[in-house]
Amino acid sequence: MVPERFTNNLVGRSVSVLDFANNKVIARDIESTPLPLLGSFEHNVLMGKLAFFTALGIPDNGLSNTAIRSIDPLKFRGKQSDNAWSTCASCHPAGLADGVTWIFADGPRQTLPLDATYSKRSAAHDARILNWSAVRGSNTDFNNNSRGVQGGVGFASDAPFAAATPNPNIFNHGITQGASEALDDETLWIQTVRPFFMPSAGNVTAGRTVFEENCASCHGGAKWTKSQILYRDNPALVAGVPRDPGLTLAPSLGGQIQSFTLDGKTLTYLEKVDTFANTNEGEIKANGTTAFGGDGFNVPSLLGVRYHAPYFHNGSAKQLADVFDAHKLNSGTIASELNTTERSNLLKFLNTIDGRTEPFRSEADDFRDPN
């Protein structure tokens, strides 16, 4: 009797039958659910999901009219990562977050969930500036994670095992679309990522009031963050490439977008909330120099915040209630400025925020639509 084992192929919507004893594939794709039509929006989204989850690779282009089950990721080994050691989903399971603080080029960085990269109310028209230090502007920029962190050649016109010449159009705050079909499809899939539904906590009206009065200016808006790309195009922060004159970069450089000014009004992106100290030995970049953070941080979303501990850029707040002891509010902290009842009501409300929760206006909303 053949010791058969089965795999559920989520993207291919099929089941594979494996013979472990003889290391053989008995049947690669037994359809479990019909796939969307080639060239359809649903097909492109599903292809983007494959690009996100594969640790091997897929073709850069020609995907719209390619059947998903016809792609053999082994033939594209080395594109997403070196020897398939990692994928986007390694840190972002289901497009969310692994709860780990990693040491990156900017410093220690708690993984951010991707459910608030784009607004679910206005899609790509409301996109968040990316990373804790606002150093990236789109999913396309992260192709350089495949190249610079994961050891792959990425999804922008490099063949695996080749010399891996970088695509000159991809850099932080570079082009957002058009680098390759694979990256564009991946962006489409990220736009579909949703937060978990939070459990009901009964009446949270009192907590909503505390939030509106103390938190909504930064954590309001459809994405539950005021971080929004409102400047013209996506500023290419490389030598000789012009950018929107209203943009101000952080003094510590590194492509951190600090603020945007238009018609005499300024929207600040990097907020100092007293969670960074350059005397902290843990605040170092991957190269051992002092981490970014002295200029403030790009406001994180509170969508599904209940499930994304630990908190802050460096994961220093183990529980959501611990945030209150360190996060700046007015002349003190949340803990010192709010009384016990207010803190309790606020925490109760925060633990309910999901995609169904009615948001508040943020500073970005007032900046964009002052009337």
Share of the chain above pLDDT 90, in %: 79
C-beta of residue 115 within 8 angstroms of C-beta of residue 223? no
Give yes or no for residue 275 having a pLDDT over 70: yes
Provide the pLDDT for residue 225. Answer: 98
Provide the pLDDT for residue 165. Answer: 66
Q: What is the mean pLDDT of residues 31-44?
A: 97
Picking from 185, 174, 155, 312, the residue whose alpha carbon sits closest to that of residue 241 is 174
CA 319 to each of CA 99, 166, 215, 218: distance values in angstroms, whole numbers, following the listed order: 12, 41, 18, 20
Provide the pLDDT for residue 237. Answer: 62
| pLDDT tens readout for residues 96-105 | 999 999 999 9
Please report which confidence band the pLDDT of residue 233 belongs to, taking 50, 70 and 90 as the band edges: low
| pLDDT tens readout for residues 68-84 | 999 999 999 999 999 99
Give backbone dihedrals phi and psi of 74, rounded to 5 degrees, phi first: -60, -30
Output DSSP code: residue 156: S
CB atoms within 10 A of CB 89: 16
| CA 186/CA 53 separation, integer angstroms | 10
Provide the pLDDT for residue 240. Answer: 61
Higher pLDDT, 210 or 159: 210
| CA 273/CA 250 separation, integer angstroms | 16
Q: What is the mean pLDDT of the chain?
A: 92
CA 176 to each of CA 19, 130, 172, 209, 235: distance values in angstroms, whole numbers, following the listed order: 43, 12, 10, 37, 10
Provide the pLDDT for residue 86. Answer: 97
Share of the chain above pLDDT 70, in %: 93
| pLDDT tens readout for residues 83-138 | 999 999 999 999 999 999 999 999 999 999 999 999 988 766 899 999 999 999 89
CA 195 to each of CA 64, 85, 116, 272: distance values in angstroms, whole numbers, following the listed order: 28, 27, 8, 26
Give domain limits for the chain. 1-34, 35-368
Provide the pLDDT for residue 243. Answer: 78
C-beta of residue 14 within 8 angstroms of C-beta of residue 30? yes
C-beta of residue 277 within 8 angstroms of C-beta of residue 302? no
Give yes or no for residue 331 having a pLDDT over 80: yes
| CA 160/CA 83 separation, integer angstroms | 11
Using DSSP's 3-state secondary structure scheme, residue 5 falls into strand
Give yes or no for residue 239 having a pLDDT over 80: no
